[in-house]
Structure 1
């Protein structure tokens, strides 16, 4: 199916194979590189699930571990195969997704075949799993020594009591020691089903040929997707403040506001746009509060804002370095309360809405970011290009209602990494 977005001067081609694999082509005429991403709707939060009548409570970090191991085939390593074609491959695991991708200037069909083959053909042995434990253990050690990452993990431990988002994406050296080939095969069967995956291509390619290759090299059968378990929810945060000590010159912090989960029929893309707009109005780099905090030297140029939606949860996040994170928190919470009561100034709302819209327009000229956004939208039953129409539905009242939720008691948590004494 072809769909035109005339206001954005974009179009897309979409198709769903008989096995359930969703394929989307985002044409970019004149671009020298083509980018392809094959993703599974399976991330670090999906460690507990039921599949084919059996309950699995897998060790933390299993999705990330599986990503590492998928590149190894019986007939060699997929990275070496990509090297022979001149493609640039990589992969990542997030809280909600595992994705494998490559970019190339030629031999696209050959590279696509390599991608599909290794992602849909698991090969795990005791020997190669044991070898990977050492490699991932080193990666975990590096993450444990990264103050920004520790603040990030601490924030979700403060916001949630039982949700698996509390756990670091890569797990721990103790948890990955429990991962076996059987664990990896179970996760692959439960979540690497074609009906739980999507292929997005951005650049210049023959869409019909890409679909033919995908049909040939993806499984004909599509196992049922695992039913996920995320624990119980409560409205208030788990801890008001989470503190760690590391070798940093001055404190690094993240302040989070716990938002309500998506409603059953709510658009995930619209909620993300609304949250992004709200947090920028609150303390984006063109907001009055940002200017005030910056003038007082309470925040610096590294200060940033974000809004994230996870299964059964959502949160606004902002932070950076500060000599006094508690003072920043007090100022931000005071501004949230004001905005919840008075609403945002009309001129500020209009300016920030245009700014956020412009940022999303820029994504359309960055094939990798564009394709990644489309994959996330597909998993929510949407298309990224719908953002333009959804923006028109967001009103000042919507933003004020979101601030009202954040302003409730015990809805914020502060994660701080302080200098060691």
Structure 2
């Protein structure tokens, strides 16, 4: 295994690519009782159409999430129960771009790791179990569709994008999952749950060489498959799909998200642009920003207000929102403040304050084993060394932030999603 010391973040990372194509990271944490394993595939809610054996396959919305649910089934029973018996705390999630299975434990870690590697790589579905799961997941979908926070976000994405599969709910719909069969699940597992499309991160009081030997013994001989060609929906038109949407639900106060469709970074620029976008978000919307102070003083926002910058396959977007008695006024103010910063510039003292605060938050996030594993995994899937973020951070200046605001936070790129009280 190769060892890299990252002095700026105080971490040492062992990494290797196994003969079967699996990327393995091990981050030793001596003097910690807990160890953590994170096994992820680059397959998520956006991966609805892909090329396999020379043919394009279209799959139902929600299938990656459905597959995540079914992966815990084994011939012997249920992997969740087996891990829990060994004192582990297991779980899983499906996002737009990845599906991950993970656990932490203070004892029987290697035995638990074997269970994790086994059930994730060896699928077991029956027609009866797949049909039964439709009712369970259908109920879950109905519950999230009754959630105002889910509705305001999903409707914002549908306004921002016309073609991208980022506009499709990760869970799918009750109708879409009705088309999922055991055969379809096996096809998707075969396509995406191959070692060369996956990454395993282990963080804790472990021996890197021992972990590598264990993984090699459990997953031997499977050669690296060809990269999967994916279709995320094609080129978007210049304008957002819809400028505004509103829906009435049982909320006491209007809820909103104002989204801005940003230019996706070029290849090799993903890490830098993610840092630029995060700093820009803090400069524009943070709780120490001039905009936040003005809106708060006017009673237009409260403590629920906040924003974020996100990058998904082929798309990037910044959004801000919360509760407000006048969402349109807040959305207009965000766009106007971005224009002011572009015209007048960003105060150097304020910029350095935000820059240090953003950097400090990124460093503090590494106190979490889960965040370390996520950082390494996302970086690997996107093609960069995520632990080098301090060096990239050093290259970002005020002009980068102004350029980001000038190009992206403008009226033509904005869409407003609102959830209004029923009365």
What's the TM-score, normalizing by structure 2? 0.97
Taking the TM superposition and a 5 Å limit, the aligned residue runs for 1:9-158 are 9-158=10-159
Match of 1:259 in 2: 262
Partner in structure 2 of residue 365 of structure 1: 367
- Aligned pairs for 1:7-406 (under 5 A) are 7-218=8-219, 220-232=222-234, 233-266=236-269, 268-406=270-408
* Equivalent-residue separation in structure 1 for 2:338 and 2:249 (angstroms): 30
Tell me if structure 2 keeps the 8 A contact 1:251–1:323: yes
Equivalents in 2 of 1:276, 1:286: separation in Å? Answer: 15
Shift of 1:221: 2.7
Does the CA contact (< 8 Å) of 2:335 and 2:411 recur in 1? Answer: no
Q: After TM superposition, what 4+ stretches of structure 1 lie above 6 angstroms from structure 2?
A: none
Q: Is contact 1:82–1:88 with CA below 8 Å preserved after alignment?
A: yes
Given that 1:299 and 1:322 are in contact with CA atoms closer than 8 Å, whether structure 2 keeps it comes out as yes
Say which SS state the counterpart of residue 83 (structure 1) adopts: helix
**C-alpha displacement of 1:409:** 4.4
Contact residue 158 and residue 240 of structure 1 kept, 8 A: yes
Preserved contact between residue 254 and residue 320 of structure 1 (Cα < 8 Å): yes
Unaligned 5+ segments in structure 2 are none
Q: Is the 8 A contact 2:28 2:208 kept in 1?
A: no
Deviations 1:233-252 (A, max 9, x none): 23321111121111100111
Structure 1 residue 337: Cα displacement: 1.1
Unaligned 5+ segments in structure 1 are none
Map Cα deviations across residues 328-370 of structure 1 (whole Å, 9 max, x no partner): 0111010111122233211121111111101111111111122
Displacement after TM superposition at 1:396 (Å)? 0.7
Kept after mapping to 2: 8 A contact 1:46/1:228:
yes
Contact 2:253 2:421 in 1 (8 A): yes
Query: Is the 2:21–2:223 Cα contact (8 Å) retained in structure 1?
Result: no
Scaled by the length of structure 1, what TM-score is found? 0.97
In structure 2, what is the Cα distance between the partners aligned to 1:370 and 1:178?
Answer: 37
The CA deviation string for residues 56-86 of structure 1, in whole angstroms up to 9 with x for no partner, is 1111000100100000011211011101110
Cα offsets for 1:99-147 (capped at 9, x unmatched): 0000000111101100000000011111110111111111111110110
Distance 2:141 2:7 in 1: 46
Whether the aligned pair in 2 keeps the contact of 1:52 and 1:224 (CA below 8 Å) is: no
- How far apart, in 2, do the equivalents of 1:382 and 1:325 lie? 38
3-state SS of paired residue (2:412): coil
The 2-side partners of 1:281 and 1:333 are apart by 13
Aligned-residue offset at 1:408:
4.1
SS of equivalent residue, structure 1 residue 201: strand
